[in-house]
């Protein structure tokens, strides 16, 4: 026999289950409605982008939703700086400041310090005023700090995403060239074959890191014992030594029987580290790439750039910094292409029409076809290359921000839905 209280209890439970079922059904219907609306909104944004000349394919834009940044193992110095410095600095940054704005401020400061020393060293062999070496050390340390905390700010404000990844690594690709050229000026290295070799031994590993991420989906910014942070502190040390002792110290011969200067030993050490890292990256890609042949073919543009750059330094030129700057910006363009393709899953192009004029200008310079105007031609091409590289980066960011419905340099505004 069932008591009235038991029957009442069962009726109450049944009513509660019915209400919960209705709520669940209602919520499910809302989710079903919401999901098509989100898909429709994203398709509408893609259609808006289609009205322009797209840098990213429709499939590539959709792949952005699945992109997830995975960093490699940090070095001991990374962990030290993170614990005792970067985690404290981020608390001083207002939450209203966009992560990309932090990166941009750091990059602008570092570039300004470079132009200070470049003004006094037109051939990178002159001795600049002491304050310029100190300015470069401070500028690079400030950039390092901003570059380290921008990701923390993104996670802190809930604004992390592929747009920040492209902006951050895009700025890194720009800064790499300027850091190298600042080091050349600070050590009076000049603009000859040694300088180009130094530039290549620094910028190529950065490209290979992006190439490695393209195939392994993990970004390793160096070796376990020597990464980006260590390289930046190495540059800061160069600036500070030049500040205290002058750039002439780098041209002393520590071993009289060997015709090598101190700066030569430094370049050899750097090339050994980055060379080992490059080989390690290539072996890692060969282990993970779906098509090894295609992966290796993707290195044709950067290899051609290296060969052309080294050959160019053998030709006397009135403005040698133009050559270094041109190849640095060309590297930036190739690297940003690789970053974008890695995030969107697009095929990395083996042919870049923007770089076709480079070997043509080299032949003109080599054959002295226009001896009075060769530097003008190269300067005009450099200006065009800077414009197209910047436009590629900004157009790509605009497409991503339009698709995701966000702004690049603000976290307080949203695009109208």
Does residue 169 have an active-site annotation?
Answer: yes
Spatial distance between the Cα atoms of 44 and 204, rounded to a whole number of angstroms: 39
Helical segments of 158-288, H only: 162-186, 193-216, 228-245, 262-288
Of 266, 244, 132, 125, give the one whose Cα is nearest residue 185.
125
- Is residue 215 within 8 A of residue 288, CB to CB? The reply is yes
Taking alpha carbons only, the member of 336, 227, 335, 212 closest to residue 274 is 227
- Between CA 368 and CA 376 the distance in angstroms is 13
CB neighbour list of residue 135: distance below 8 Å, 6 or more residues apart? 113, 116, 117
- Given a contact cutoff of 8 angstroms between Cβ atoms, the answer to whether 107 and 140 are in contact is no
365 CA to centre of own chain: 31
Residues making up the chain, counted from first to last: 417
Q: Is 410 strand, coil or helix? A: coil
Q: Where are the alpha helices (DSSP H) in 82-121?
A: 87-89, 99-120
DSSP assignment, residue 227? Answer: B
**C-alpha distance from residue 72 to each of 111, 212, 336, 396, 398 (Å):** 27, 11, 20, 25, 28
Active-site annotation holder among 169, 217, 253, 288: 169
Reduce the DSSP state of residue 28 to 3 states and report it.
helix
**Residues marked as catalytic:** 169
């Amino acid at each position: 026999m069932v008591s009235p209280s038991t029957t009442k209890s069962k009726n109450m439970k049944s009513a509660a289950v019915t209400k919960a079922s209705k709520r669940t059904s209602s919520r499910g219907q809302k989710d079903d409605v919401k999901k098509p609306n989100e898909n429709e909104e994203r398709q509408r944004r893609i259609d808006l982008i289609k009205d322009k000349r797209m840098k990213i394919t429709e499939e590539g834009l959709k792949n952005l939703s699945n992109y997830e940044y995975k960093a490699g193992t940090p070095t001991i110095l990374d962990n030290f700086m993170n614990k005792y410095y970067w985690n404290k600095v981020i608390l001083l940054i207002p939450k209203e400041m966009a992560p990309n704005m932090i990166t941009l401020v750091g990059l602008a400061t570092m570039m300004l310090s470079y132009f200070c020393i470049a003004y006094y060293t037109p051939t990178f062999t002159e001795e600049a005023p002491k304050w310029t070496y100190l300015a470069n050390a401070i500028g690079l340390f400030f950039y390092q700090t901003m570059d380290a905390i921008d990701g923390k700010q993104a996670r802190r404000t809930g604004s992390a995403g592929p747009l920040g990844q492209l902006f951050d690594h895009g700025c890194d690709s720009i800064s790499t060239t300027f850091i190298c050229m600042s080091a050349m000026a600070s050590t009076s290295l000049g603009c000859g074959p040694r300088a180009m070799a130094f530039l290549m031994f620094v910028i190529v590993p950065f490209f290979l890191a992006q190439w490695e991420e393209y195939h392994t989906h993990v970004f390793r910014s160096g070796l376990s014992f020597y990464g980006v942070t260590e390289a930046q502190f190495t540059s800061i040390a160069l600036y500070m030594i030049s500040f205290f002792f002058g750039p002439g110290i780098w041209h002393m011969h520590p071993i009289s029987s060997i015709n090598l200067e101190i700066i030569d030993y430094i370049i050899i050490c750097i090339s050994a580290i980055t060379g080992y890292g490059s080989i390690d990256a290539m072996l890692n890609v060969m282990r993970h790439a779906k098509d090894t042949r295609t992966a290796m073919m993707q290195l044709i543009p950067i290899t051609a750039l290296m060969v052309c750059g080294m050959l160019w330094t053998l030709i006397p030129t009135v403005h040698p910094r133009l050559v270094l700057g041109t190849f640095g910006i060309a590297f930036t363009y190739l690297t940003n292409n690789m970053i974008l393709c890695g995030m969107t899953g697009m095929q990395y192009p083996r042919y870049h029409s923007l770089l076709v004029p480079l070997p043509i200008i080299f032949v003109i310079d080599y054959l002295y076809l226009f001896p009075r105007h060769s530097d003008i031609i190269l300067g005009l091409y450099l200006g065009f290359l800077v414009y197209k590289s910047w436009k590629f980066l900004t157009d790509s960011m605009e497409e991503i921000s339009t698709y995701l419905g966000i702004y690049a340099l603000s976290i307080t505004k949203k695009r109208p839905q």
